[in-house]
Structure 1
Amino acid sequence: MRNKHLLYVIICCNTLIIICGNLLHHPCSFLPRCRCRLEHHKNVVEVDCGHTKLKKIPSVPSYVIKLIMKHNLIDEIHNGIFSNNTILTELDLSDNRIHTLTEMSFNGLQNLLKLNLQHNHLSKGNNSIGAKTFSYLKKLKYLNLKNNFVKNYQPDLSQLVSLESLHIDFLSNGISLMSKQYSKLKNLAMLDLSGSSGKCSLPILNNESFQFIPQVKHLDISTCKIQQIHKGTLTAMKNMTYLDVSYNTCIKFEGLKNITSDLRFSNINILKINCLHKISDLTTVLKASHIKSLQNTSLQYVFADGNRVQSIEKYTLTYFPKSLKFLSVRQNPLKFGHYISYVFSLTNLESIDVSDLYHHKSDLNPEKCIVDSICTCSENPPNEPSYIEQSGISSLYIKDKIRKKDITDNVSLAAILIPKNLKHINYSSASLIMDIPKLILSRGKLETVDFSNNILHSMIGPIYNVQSLKTLNVANNFCSNISKFFFSSDFKNLEHLNFHNNLLGIILPDDIDGAIFHNLESLIELVLSNNRIPNLPENIFKSQRNLQKLDLSENIFTDITFRLSHMTHLQELDLSGNRISIISDPITLQWDYVAKQHIFSVDLNDNLLECNCISLKSIKWMTTTNVRLKNIKEYKCMLWNRTIIALHNPKEAYNLLTKHCASYENLELTLVLGVLLFIILIMGSLIYRYRWKLRYLYYIVKVKYSSSHSETEEEYSYMYGAFVSYADEDRIFVHNTLLQKLEIENGIQLCLHKRNFLPGNDIATNITSAIHNSRRTLVIMSPNFLKSYWCMFEYNMARMENVYERRDENVVFLMFYEQMSPRELPLNVLEMIQSKSYIEYPNDEYGDTVFWDQLVNALK
């Protein structure tokens, strides 16, 4: 048996049951098409036979605690099929073809807690469910019978004494009455009659409709085609904490008045009154009389979306109870009005949703009402602005002379009063068109602000009193300007900032000092995607040391120039959808550094990556880096011949490029050296050459003034036959072999810095004097020589002596002590090799004799 599988041994009812499979999902031994999951701590099994095309219920072992058989072809529950399943607590038979339930259908399920029979065919009359059908289900707490009945039929549920949650269809042609049998369900707390998940028709509701269910706390009668709801309908339901009457478009706000009147003595906590008006209705006004009865309730959450509310009477908001924490008025064509100033009266309000003001879904099947709505408000309420504009906002400011110590221009700003406990504002898609001016908010606890999908062209600011703000969403606003002082120091606790789909590519590339985001030191997530940004300055994110996610996708970056090595907490960088072709070495070094701190991912998908000899390093980096390349299976790159290949395996691409680039290595090396030489000749050769000349002239003047000097070279008597320039690491060869062969055996007086330099003089003067007073300069070329600063100084001084004092006489003589490739040599040495002769130290006896003879002749 494979290692991936485990062996479960369950001993139950003296039977050894062996079930094989993986830990979470394995075929059941009693029916392989089903899937079993073992609960180790209880030694019981959960069985899922859903979507297996079963036509009948199989015999299930007694150790099964949960059985799911939804979406099958079962049409009958055979008597006694569950007689052994005494520990079964959950049974799901939804989406089958069951048409009848008998007295013995649920025999043995005395411990069942949850039963789902929705989407079956229990609609053939009163005999489909008998009086004692549920007699065995004494502990059942949850029952779902939705989408079964097509006419007014209320099955006998009086035996379900423990039932707490009931989901059932309710169809009525006139006055709707809940059966008296429900009075026996003393524990029933949740009643779902909603037509959105089943079938519901409650044309007329009066004070007798719910008289037998005063115990219900949660009532959902949404989408129930209610035409009239009389005053007193909900009076008996004093325990109700949740009420949903949404999508009953014939109720309108006049019917809402009856609902709120009945709720004034209840324990209502959540009220949903969405879409009480049709989408095609004329706009309306929310009046004080509609909600006045709620003033002394414990209501905390109100949903009033899609009600065609255009305006609100002046003092209406003051009648909401002090306990209100959440208010949603989405998808209402609200006009700007003076009622906004009364939002401040909602002192405990924590969240408000005013989004999607002018976005409405079309209603393809509008409800037919007995009396349709008429216009309940004028198109332009008197003394109120007809649309949201900056001047309108200014007119509602509470003029309060508040000054901030960091306001540089000492301007008194207007304070906008907001509820003191308000934490969340959603004002997205509200057709807000304005530039954000200088603002001071009244002190509060504001944590989340969503102003996305508006038109905020420019964010000037600064904004103050937002110390608690953690999330700001200004995506999709056509914003092209953010002032460097918009984010004041009060934004110090902001953690999430979303600028998706704006036009910040105009302003951000000029923020060289990182002033815009300077105060956002606590920022964790920054989204700048789809802003047409071509590049970003190096220090733009200098203050974002705590940043964890940076999204720069869908811009027009061709290269990455901003610094992020200081972001030691950065976990994700999204650069997808840009125009990056090659990742430069400085950037990969920064990314590797961040990846050493913790897991770090970069997304480069949908870029113009290149696979050629120039990008060879970046492709090789992909094969070795610890940075996680997100979505790498989608990467593509362009070869040297313009062919597009997949880059899901960078190692394969690297091997391909290595073979291709090897044949052009010499050509590329020559080309690179040529380009470098050209750049050096054009931009730096003159400076470089004159630098050495000036240094040489300086030291030669010092030497000439300290010693006698003849006018001509023929009259000049050299102190040494040759000055030996060598690295200290090669001193054994020079002091033993070279000195013996040249000075002792051939009489050539050598100048060695260890022996002949005058103490007390600086090194540069000693070098210049030794070169000037020697007939030749012998350079012992080796890798150590190239690494030594003073060796290269000696070499360059000898070159200057050769050019400016010896009239291009062959003064400098190169001897390669070790074999070296041209790549290891600097350009000035290569130039000397090309124009002058040189000699290599041999490794054989015959070559050794020839070498010393040639060297002696060259020096004499």
Structure 2
Amino acid sequence: MPFMGSLSSHFFLTLLSCLLYLNPSLAYSLKNCSIDYQRNPTDCASLDCQNRKLLTVPDDIPKDAVSIQLSSNLLEKITKKDFGGMVKLRVLNLALNRIAHVDIGSFIELVTLKTLLMHQNMLKNLTSNIFQGLSNLTVLNLSGNEIRFIHASAFQFLTSLQSLDLGSNMLQQVTDIQPVLQLSQIELLHLSSNKLSSFQTNDLLLNVSSSLRLLDVSFNDLEKFSITTPIFPYLQMIDLSQCGRSSGLKWEIPDKTLLRNITQLFLSQPWFSFEEIQKVLQSLDSLTHLRLNYMDEWINKGLLAAVCKIPTLRRLDMYLNNLSNFTVELSLCSELRELDLSLTHITELSKGSIQSMKKLQSLNLEINLLTKVPPDIRNLASLEILNMNDNIIFELTCDDFVNTKHLTELSLNFNHITKLDRCVFENLSNLKLLDLSKNLLWTFGDAFKTALPKLEVLYISQNYINILERGDFQGLQSLKYLNTVADNIGRVTSRSFDGLKNLETLVVSLALEYEPDFTELLHLESLTIYFNIDDTLKSSHQNNYKDFKHINLKCLKSFTVICSGFHYGFPLDVPVELFQAMKDLEDFTAVNVYIQAPNVDTFQSNNQLKSLTFAKTDLSDLDPELFQSIPNLQVLNFSACMLTSLDFLVQANLVELRYLKLSDNEIAVINETVFQFLPALTYLDLENNPFTCDCSNADFIHWVKTNKQTQVVNAHQYACAFPVAARGTMLLDFDIQSCWVQGSFLCFISSSCLVVATLLTSFIYHFLRWQLAYAIHLFRAFLYDSRKRKKACPHQFDAFVSYNVHDEDWVYREMLPVLEGEQGWRLCLHHRDFQPGKPIIENITDAIYGSRKTICVISRPYLQSEWCSREIQMASFRLFDEQKDVLILLFLEEIPSHQLSPYYRMRKLVKKRTYLSWPQAAQHPGVFWQNLQRALQTEEVVTENEDQLTGPRGC
């Protein structure tokens, strides 16, 4: 039977596809780590195992991990097996542990490791083979340990090392770092906060020059810093911050050519005498960047006079100095490009102190006590970056930036500015970033209506703007990012954002009762709206917020709506019409917005949606049809949404979903079959749900532990909420074997029966499929026969004609004119008399039992037809069951008996019964029709000795 064959083939193909689908990687039910979610599933795993109170490195970390974060744990040692086989690992963070010992060969298989962080541990010695295998390591941080001894061969395997941090250890001799300086690629060396008493190149026995570019010896009690040999030809930066002893620090570099490449020097509260510092500065002819921290005493003595004489100096950092009682004199530093005066307690810059810096490009005055913009700034025509965050500036005047036409970044965050005049920014024609957030602004005036033609980023959040008027930003033609969020939500009037035709990102606060209009924002790609509903608004407004209709953003890709405050019972549903224009929307987030599940048609126009987030929303009545129009969804976050079940995922058809977060819901029991409908899922977060720890979750627990595709984040930390006796235990600690022991024997019997049934089915299909199919048809005919006899219905037709569609022409051309036209018989033809809409098998049965006899018009196509075969089988069953002469065989062509062998029932009937042959009647057709008429006239009742087929044997 063709049908049975196709069914079996489909079954085995399905089974094979399921087997091939299995991922050979390790299961993702990690006990102590979580794998960071990655949108690209082909990316290798990055593990987060931080702050888990781990005593040892977990043994279930996937071998294909590329990054492992194991910081802030309780690890005491590293063994050889901890990272075995991790040949793809590039970043390993072991910081903030208690590691005191590393076995030889522990890192030998980490052949691709680039970064190793082991700071804040308890290492005391670096042995000769501790870093064996790390030939590709470029960054090594060992700061904050207790290292006293470094073996001469400790770094021999680190042939690619570029940066080494040995700060905050117990090193006492500069010779301890000699093996480091011999590395061919080393560029950065940090030795801060050790026990070094001196740093002298005479103590270093190096045969070759070092490639070192940065040397940090800060926070050491040095007596002498001496470079007398040419071992640092590439050295560019020296950090001597807080170095020396009370007796002083001696600088000894007799040959200035040994420092010809030094461009950066950091000094912070050194134990240099004033004269010694002057000597240091005079020895550096190529210095471009100087940092002076905690040096109030020397600055008061006139150190800046010496500093400004350095002809190559371009950057001067003076932060962390107390200059409140000092008039800063920097007029001699006319060649500076960058000046940092942050955290210096200055209340003002005296007039003329920096006006000579005609080439200054960056000025940092952050975290000071300025009450106004220093007057000298208006004379800095080359200034590009100005930072005055966190001061107490009250007012901006029209003259403050009158000549700073090249300014590109202006930061005035966290000041006391209350208003903006029209003229404040009119000369800043090149400004690209402006930060006015966290001020006391209550109006913009006309500040943004005509000025700032090149401004791209504007922060005005956390101010006291009560209203955004139409045209407030109409002069900002180049603006791409705008943030207007504030706690005291004000009014946004119609057309408030007119003119912002190039805006791409908008973060805005809206008062619920006012209507926003974003129709001018033709290129907006990201929109975030904050609402705040208090009791006053709740009591004064009882209808839905319906004014979203003016958003209409066709280019929008990310849309976020966040509602703060209590709004239960106060609908804030985003109308369906809003999404219809957002054809390219990829990310939608609604936090505390909907009070019930959104309408199923909400996203019918957003088939590009890839990320959907609902939080603090009652989704208990969620309709799975909501997802039918968003087949490309990859990220789904339903946190704190009162969900009690995952059944909605069965009908959601989320075949592309990779990230699913359902934390903080009311899910107690999970049917693991749900995840069969999420074939791409790789990340599942179910934290803070009240799980039931009994056999109802046994299948889910087993799936979490054994599935090889989906990571259930922090699953081993899921706690039991029910039953009460299990509270305090972990979900994955529940013994699921107790749920299966009682039915183990039944499972054995069932599986054994399944195996036997499979073998038996295969045997029957191969050897007995025709006999089996025939028996099924006989049984069905028996059922129909019993039903018809109970009804005792009279015959409607004289004969039912069973024929194949290939023989339809002969039936209508030859048979019907004679039998119906000349002889007057009532015939039943399936093309003419079958009842439309009724099952075929019922039509066949009704036709056979509703006719006195059945005429089978047999040809080769007839024998090969499945439905014709069923018709003759039912007719023959009636023949033998009723013992009546009801079957007439009519052959349209000569078919030898041996060719009927595959058609077992037909061959048996032909051997036993008389039949009519049309080919033999070619010369005498009248005789043929007379024999057929006589067969139709024959009474149905026959004796036991009579043939059950009427007509001559070989007409």
Which TM-score band (shorter chain)?
Answer: 0.5 to 0.7
- How do 1:13-162 and structure 2 match up within 5 A? 20-23=131-134, 24=137, 31-32=150-151, 36=155, 40=159, 46-57=163-174, 58-61=176-179, 62-64=181-183, 65=186, 66-78=188-200, 80-82=202-204, 84=206, 86-94=209-217, 96-104=219-227, 108-121=231-244, 128-129=250-251, 136-148=258-270, 154-155=277-278, 156-162=280-286
Question: 2:497·2:521 contact (CA, 8 Å) conserved in 1?
Answer: no
Is 1:330 paired with 2:437? yes
Inter-CA distance 110–244: structure 2 relative to 1 (3 Å threshold): same
Name which of 261, 264, 268 aligns with 2:378: 261
Instruction: Note the C-alpha offset of 1:220.
Output: 0.8
Deviations, residues 110-151 of structure 1 (Å, cap 9, x unaligned): 3212322334346766x6546859763221233222344799
- The aligned counterpart of 2:288 is 164
Mean alpha-carbon deviation: is it higher for 547-556 or for 489-498? 489-498
RMSD: 4.6
Is 1:238 paired with 2:349? no
Is 1:307 paired with 2:307? no
Question: 2:388·2:413 contact (CA, 8 Å) conserved in 1?
Answer: yes
- The aligned counterpart of 2:753 is none
Helix, strand or coil for the counterpart of 2:379? helix
Number of residue-to-residue matches in the alignment: 607
Question: 1:243·1:270 contact (CA, 8 Å) conserved in 2?
Answer: yes
Distance in 2, matches of 1:760 and 1:602, equals 50
- How do 1:594-633 and structure 2 match up within 5 A? 594-595=680-681, 600-622=682-704, 623-624=706-707, 626-633=709-716
Inter-CA distance 26–329: structure 2 relative to 1 (3 Å threshold): closer
Question: 1:349·1:421 contact (CA, 8 Å) conserved in 2?
Answer: no
Is 1:659 paired with 2:741? yes
Instruction: Note the C-alpha offset of 1:542.
Output: 3.6
Inter-CA distance 309–559: structure 2 relative to 1 (3 Å threshold): same
Question: 2:471·2:496 contact (CA, 8 Å) conserved in 1?
Answer: no
Question: 1:634·1:647 contact (CA, 8 Å) conserved in 2?
Answer: yes
Deviations, residues 146-190 of structure 1 (Å, cap 9, x unaligned): 344799885432322333322222426997966344456444332
Distance in 2, matches of 1:397 and 1:93, equals 49
Is 1:475 paired with 2:562? yes
Inter-CA distance 655–579: structure 2 relative to 1 (3 Å threshold): same
Instruction: Note the C-alpha offset of 1:323.
Output: 1.5
Inter-CA distance 252–466: structure 2 relative to 1 (3 Å threshold): farther
Identity rate of aligned residues, in percent? 18
Distance in 2, matches of 1:543 and 1:601, equals 23
Deviations, residues 473-493 of structure 1 (Å, cap 9, x unaligned): 443534751332463445344
Distance in 2, matches of 1:348 and 1:566, equals 47
Name which of 452, 456, 460 aligns with 1:346: 452
Question: 1:99·1:123 contact (CA, 8 Å) conserved in 2?
Answer: no
Deviations, residues 16-52 of structure 1 (Å, cap 9, x unaligned): x977524246999981599748665xx6675442333
Question: 2:264·2:289 contact (CA, 8 Å) conserved in 1?
Answer: yes
Tell me the amino acid that sits aligned with residue 162 of structure 1: S
Helix, strand or coil for the counterpart of 2:399? helix
Tell me the amino acid that sits aligned with residue 158 of structure 1: Q
Helix, strand or coil for the counterpart of 2:624? coil
Distance in 2, matches of 1:33 and 1:473, equals 58
Instruction: Note the C-alpha offset of 1:608.
Output: 1.9
Distance in 2, matches of 1:660 and 1:610, equals 20
Q: Which structure 1 residue ranges, 5 or more long, are not aligned?
A: 9-16, 279-283, 358-385, 399-411, 666-694, 708-758, 771-788, 791-860
Distance in 2, matches of 1:454 and 1:159, equals 62
Tell me the amino acid that sits aligned with residue 703 of structure 1: A
Name which of 642, 658, 670 aligns with 1:556: 642
- The aligned counterpart of 2:582 is 491
Tell me the amino acid that sits aligned with residue 579 of structure 1: E
Is 1:271 paired with 2:386? yes
- The aligned counterpart of 1:5 is 108
Question: 1:347·1:421 contact (CA, 8 Å) conserved in 2?
Answer: no
Distance in 2, matches of 1:760 and 1:526, equals 50
Question: 1:71·1:94 contact (CA, 8 Å) conserved in 2?
Answer: yes
State TM-score, norm by structure 1.
0.61
Mean alpha-carbon deviation: is it higher for 463-472 or for 548-557? 463-472
Structure possessing the higher relative contact order (Cα contacts under 8 Å, 6 or more residues apart): 2
- How do 1:232-631 and structure 2 match up within 5 A? 232-249=352-369, 251-253=370-372, 256-263=373-380, 265-266=381-382, 268-277=383-392, 284-294=394-404, 297-313=405-421, 315-335=422-442, 337=443, 339=445, 342-343=448-449, 345-357=451-463, 388=466, 393=469, 414=495, 416-427=497-508, 433-435=511-513, 437-443=515-521, 445-452=523-530, 458=545, 460-464=547-551, 466-478=553-565, 480-485=571-576, 487-500=578-591, 502-504=592-594, 506-507=595-596, 509=597, 511-515=598-602, 517-563=603-649, 566-584=653-671, 587-591=674-678, 593-595=679-681, 600-622=682-704, 623-624=706-707, 626-631=709-714
Tell me the amino acid that sits aligned with residue 573 of structure 2: I
Instruction: Note the C-alpha offset of 1:108.
Output: 3.1
Inter-CA distance 496–414: structure 2 relative to 1 (3 Å threshold): same
Distance in 1, matches of 2:255 and 2:640, equals 61
Mean alpha-carbon deviation: is it higher for 414-423 or for 315-324? 414-423
Name which of 285, 310, 313 aligns with 1:188: 313
Instruction: Note the C-alpha offset of 1:271.
Output: 1.0
Name which of 310, 333, 340 aligns with 1:213: 333
Distance in 2, matches of 1:212 and 1:138, equals 24
Distance in 1, matches of 2:178 and 2:847, equals 103
Inter-CA distance 525–559: structure 2 relative to 1 (3 Å threshold): same
Question: 1:436·1:459 contact (CA, 8 Å) conserved in 2?
Answer: no
Question: 2:432·2:455 contact (CA, 8 Å) conserved in 1?
Answer: yes
Distance in 2, matches of 1:94 and 1:576, equals 49
Tell me the amino acid that sits aligned with residue 234 of structure 1: I
Inter-CA distance 180–44: structure 2 relative to 1 (3 Å threshold): same
Instruction: Note the C-alpha offset of 1:612.
Output: 2.9
Helix, strand or coil for the counterpart of 1:72? coil
Helix, strand or coil for the counterpart of 1:602? strand
Tell me the amino acid that sits aligned with residue 640 of structure 2: E
Instruction: Note the C-alpha offset of 1:320.
Output: 4.8
Q: Which structure 2 residue ranges, 5 or more long, are not aligned?
A: 1-103, 112-127, 475-492, 538-544, 748-783, 797-839, 852-869, 872-955
Instruction: Note the C-alpha offset of 1:769.
Output: 10
Helix, strand or coil for the counterpart of 2:736? helix
Distance in 1, matches of 2:204 and 2:521, equals 63
Question: 2:795·2:849 contact (CA, 8 Å) conserved in 1?
Answer: no
Deviations, residues 528-561 of structure 1 (Å, cap 9, x unaligned): 2333543422132344344332222233210135
Distance in 2, matches of 1:34 and 1:465, equals 68
